[in-house]
Structure 1
Amino acid sequence: MRLLTVAAAVLAAGGLAVVGLTTTETRALEEKIAHTQSGGWKTTHYSKYSDWESICETRAPATVGALISINRALEERCYLRLVDRIGDSEITGANDRFGEISTVVQQDGDGLRVTFEIESALTIDVGEFYLAREDFPVWRLDKDVCLGTGECSFSGPAADALVRAFSDQTGDALHMQVEFTDRNDQKLIRKWPMLPFAGAFADFENNIHYTGT
């Protein structure tokens, strides 16, 4: 995989005053995915870098009638993700979840695709989802149409630029900040540590090269 150099796509933005709740606990989805199967996919590689998960999976080829095509190799895929589940911090049961925000990095042809998904129970306005270095916003998710649909996807040079921005190691602090309104009309803030992303992405790339996908 070859990442394109698109320095101009990493947009600098003005400062943003952060108010409201800032200590809501960030909890990554931890459901032993390395030992589960979903949609026929079986996990063959699993590494975790803080809340970022680097995963590779395989599944058997599609069947033809009752027979599996013996001429088709196993399907393989690798991806990088962060899944943030939002719920009542005082309730630890599985039923407390009332929202979820996730980011997935995966192959898209010869390049990359970066996708942000926002559950419908949450409302995020333009300018409230941004990457901050040393608490200064350097990129904002400002696509209001996709924020309304709950899925924002970037490919090609835009995805490459995002990965470069996420991998920035030049400062002492780098985080993604998401400000949103939950289903109870509470204004909440999540902060994802981004310094571990570089290591997670390196693992993702190594696995893609290893599997030959």
Structure 2
Amino acid sequence: MRTIPLLLCLLASPVIAQDRAGNDTAGEWRFDHHKAFGLWDSMCDWRETDGITERRCYLRYVDVFSPRPKFAAVFTFITPEPQGYKIEFGIEPNTLYKKGGFRIDAGDTTTWQLDDINCTRIATCTWTGNAADTFIAALAASSDDPAVLVQDFFDRHGQEQLLKWDLTPFAAALADFNAQVGERGLR
């Protein structure tokens, strides 16, 4: 059963899941860094293309919240941009988030909330620039205060779901990720 989440991680996103022909496979990428911070993973890999080494790093969180036969999951990938980050949330089609159902809570206080519900109505939410920087800052600030990323929704099977991702290890995961990105000259 432990291999199912790992398999999902490899198949969950084009950032790690496609070979050169666009097939959903791990392809030719070889990992050279993996460090877990709770359920956050800081990862880097590489491949050779025409004698040139391609490198990439990402932070990921994969939550398989419903096993077979009603399999369902949500994931996030954070990758470096020249200035800041790109954040991609993978949300299964026909998932319906409740109003205020995508937020960061520290105790009884909401410290960040997604106001653009259109983002949660499509299969992928992607943020860059100021939106990504604001979200990353809210995630990282949570390491000082026990906080959770709350996702309150009805999944594609119509089942009510309440996910609470522990943000305590995020700042350490982000620091490791940024160090690896720097070592590889990816920003």
TM-score by length of 1: 0.72
Deviation per CA, 1:34-91: give whole Å up to 9, x if none. xx97132111100000000000010111xxxxxxx33xx2100000010111215xxx
What is the correspondence of 1:65-84 to structure 2 with a 5 Å cutoff? 69-70=50-51, 73-84=52-63
Where structure 2 has 5 or more consecutive residues not aligned to the other structure, the ranges are: 11-16, 18-24
- Asked whether the 8 Å contact 1:132–1:139 carries over to 2, the reply is yes
Please name the residue that 2:5 is paired with.
29
Distance in 1 separating the partners of 2:47 and 2:99: 39
In structure 2, the CA distance between the partners of 1:53 and 1:76, relative to structure 1 (3 Å rule), is same
Distance in 2 separating the partners of 1:41 and 1:97: 30
- Asked whether the 8 Å contact 2:144–2:168 carries over to 1, the reply is no
What is the correspondence of 1:147-166 to structure 2 with a 5 Å cutoff? 147-166=120-139
Please name the residue that 1:103 is paired with.
76
Distance in 1 separating the partners of 2:177 and 2:57: 7
Distance in 2 separating the partners of 1:149 and 1:51: 24
- Asked whether the 8 Å contact 1:46–1:53 carries over to 2, the reply is yes
What SS class does the counterpart of residue 200 from structure 1 fall into?
helix
What SS class does the counterpart of residue 204 from structure 1 fall into?
helix
- Asked whether the 8 Å contact 2:91–2:123 carries over to 1, the reply is yes
The reply to whether residue 44 of structure 1 matches residue 20 of structure 2 is no
Distance in 1 separating the partners of 2:182 and 2:156: 42
1:136, CA displacement in angstroms? Answer: 1.6
Taking CA–CA contacts closer than 8 Å with sequence separation of 6 or more, which of the two structures ends up with the larger relative contact order?
Answer: 1
- Asked whether the 8 Å contact 1:128–1:180 carries over to 2, the reply is yes
Higher strand share: 2
- Asked whether the 8 Å contact 2:95–2:121 carries over to 1, the reply is no
TM-score by length of 2: 0.81
What SS class does the counterpart of residue 100 from structure 2 fall into?
coil
- Asked whether the 8 Å contact 1:116–1:153 carries over to 2, the reply is yes
The reply to whether residue 133 of structure 1 matches residue 133 of structure 2 is no
Aligned residue pair count: 168
Higher helix share: 2
Where structure 1 has 5 or more consecutive residues not aligned to the other structure, the ranges are: 1-27, 62-68, 89-94
Greater radius of gyration (CA): 1
Please name the residue that 2:153 is paired with.
180
What SS class does the counterpart of residue 170 from structure 1 fall into?
coil
The reply to whether residue 208 of structure 1 matches residue 181 of structure 2 is yes
What SS class does the counterpart of residue 132 from structure 2 fall into?
helix
Distance in 2 separating the partners of 1:30 and 1:53: 12
